[in-house]
Amino acid sequence: MSDPSTQSPQPSGVDQSFLPYPYQRLTRSGQISAVNEAWVSVLGYEADDVCGETFREYVHSADREDFRSAFDRFITGERSSPIELDIRHADGHPVTVTLDICIERNDGGVFENAHCQFTEIDPASRFGSLSTTGGDTDEGFSATEERLKLAIEGAKLGIWDWDMEADEVLRDELLANMLGYSPEEMGDQLDDWERLVHSDGKQRHDEALAEHVSKGTDFYQCDYRMKTKSGDYKWVRTMGTVVEWDDEGEPQRAVGIHLDIDDQKRNQLKLARRTDQLEALNRVVRHDIRNDMNVLHMWAQELDDHIEESGEQALEQILASAGHILELTDVAREFVESLGIDEGVDLKPVDLKAHLEKELAKQRETYPHADFEIGGSLPDVTVRANEMISSVFRNLLVNAVEHNDSSSPTVAVEATVREDTVAVVVADDGPGIAPPLRAEIFGRGAKSVTGGTGIGLYLVETLVENYGGTIRVTGRNEWEDSHGQLLPRGADTTGAVFVVELPLADAVR
């Protein structure tokens, strides 16, 4: 096994921003694209001021060419040993560091990022500090140490140093206080940690450490629960690294941090439970309720030829209500499915015309008393979406009919291609939506103008926004005054116009 002290910092799976060691990310040309809090604390610059700047300009002039040459050799794979150089502090004095670099490449071997870490640590300091050359004063050293301490406290970090041969662990006060103990109560033996860590967490920690040792990666990381002084359990994240090895390659010393992630982890677990509950509800709605309503709707239709005239209106109400409940089960299913779109569901080029025509045909069959018109011809374009785009058009078409008090509603659909987008317009001759209500009509749980649940329009907006598009509603008169006639003008020219604008697939870079 190679000695990790000569290895470069690996980015895989570790959030470098929390590390107590100064870290920076560089582009191929040497520009700084990210730094962490420790880097800011040690060198005195603001992160926003240095990101985008060339790191070479912060290197002491005498070391710049050496850095440039070494950096190029790292990129080409000719060099793997750290670089010693002086970096200019914000106050002007040089700070001598050993800079370790790891080159991140894509699957094709092409350069993506350079991950850099200052690895020269002063062994005389409990927590470690960068050694500096002439010009560094005790006052400057104290200020740097104070900034680093404040950064560690602000990030809720606790530092540990583990003698793996003696099983003794040096823990700082922040780590003990994180769990409600004093350092004395926390203890300095590995056994003291083992009595506090949850059993399943200890197994995860040991497995992560074993993988770190066997593969020689620079860091390991895992999350687990630890028992607090009050008897509760708190979630923490451990990140550590083996820093000393014996001649046989066995680990002798490890250092690292504990990060308080209790609030974050509990929120994640709560969200996971709610997701499971939603999925359970979704299954009930999709299967149990929908199956029973299908049976009810079918038997109600069978009664059509056997009902007397006095009961026809009641039967129509039963059929309408059953149909509406079936419609709601579709919306509920689509709503639950939409929740995961912004969590990794891939978007792809989708045929807009095919989905529009499919939904128009379906609604013509569902609402034979309604008239669905197409303005002009629908364009043959693809948009960046997924198969749930049908839900957008279905809900808008259904909304235009269901919330129309006419015995024969008319709905007009047209689509216009613009430079990078396509605008789909759905207009109706219903009662319209008053201007004060238009800003709220897409809100979760907002009531429609005729008393519906409003979840369909909330789903529409959620999907459209996840596709990178926009949706708005206006009055029919307002739209036709500026864009031309959509529907035949009768005595009543009220109505609502929904405009959905979606990015064209070939316009997305």
Per-residue pLDDT of the chain (509 residues; tens, 9 = 90+): 334 333 344 444 445 655 667 889 999 999 999 998 888 888 889 988 999 999 988 988 878 888 888 898 888 888 777 888 888 888 877 888 888 888 888 888 888 888 888 764 443 333 333 333 344 445 544 555 555 555 555 555 777 888 888 888 877 777 788 888 887 888 888 888 888 888 778 888 889 899 888 888 878 898 988 899 988 888 888 888 988 888 888 899 988 888 888 888 888 877 777 766 666 666 655 555 666 677 777 777 778 778 877 777 888 778 777 776 776 676 666 666 655 544 545 688 999 999 999 999 988 988 889 999 998 889 999 999 888 888 889 889 988 988 888 888 999 999 999 889 999 999 998 888 888 888 778 765 444 433 444 467 877 888 888 888 999 999 888 888 778 777 766 556 688 999 999 999 875 43
Q: Are strands 23-26 and 410-417 parallel, antiparallel or unpaired?
A: unpaired
pLDDT at 453: 41
Domain 156-260 has CATH 3.40.920.10: no
What's the CA gap between 267 and 228, in Å, rounded? 19
Question: What long-range pairs does 315-324 form, CB within 8 A, spacing at least 24?
Answer: 322/293, 322/296, 322/297, 323/297, 323/366, 324/402
The beta-strand segments (E) located in 392-486 are: 410-417, 421-428, 470-475
* 8 Å CB contact between 158 and 237: no
* 8 Å CB contact between 171 and 160: yes
* 8 Å CB contact between 116 and 9: yes
| Distances from the Cα of 251 to the Cα of 103, 122, 157, 209, 220, angstroms | 26, 21, 24, 11, 14
pLDDT at 498: 93
C-alpha of 287 from chain center: 31
Superfamily for 1-154? Answer: PAS domain (3.30.450.20)
156-260 and 345-509 have identical folds: no
* 8 Å CB contact between 104 and 115: yes
238 DSSP β-pair partners: 222, 258
Q: Where are the domains of the chain?
A: 1-154, 156-260, 271-339, 345-509
Q: What is the pTM of this model?
A: 0.42
- The CB-side HSE value for 78 (13 A sphere, CA atoms) comes to 6
The beta-strand segments (E) located in 451-494 are: 470-475
pLDDT at 353: 94
DSSP-assigned states of every residue in 90-109: TTS-EEEEEEEEEEEE-TTS
What's the CA gap between 127 and 157, in Å, rounded? 12
Helix (H) / strand (E) element for 458: namely helix 455-466
Helix (H) / strand (E) element for 354: namely helix 352-366
Superfamily for 345-509? Answer: Histidine kinase-like ATPase, C-terminal domain (3.30.565.10)
Burial 314-342 (b: 16+ CB within 10 A, else e): ebeebbeebbebebbbbbbbbbbbbeebe
* 8 Å CB contact between 22 and 42: yes
Helix (H) / strand (E) element for 501: namely strand 496-503
| Distances from the Cα of 302 to the Cα of 164, 312, 315, 387, angstroms | 79, 13, 11, 35
DSSP-assigned states of every residue in 28-84: TT-BEEEE-HHHHHHH---HHHHTTSBGGGGB-GGGHHHHHHHHHHHHHTS--S-EE
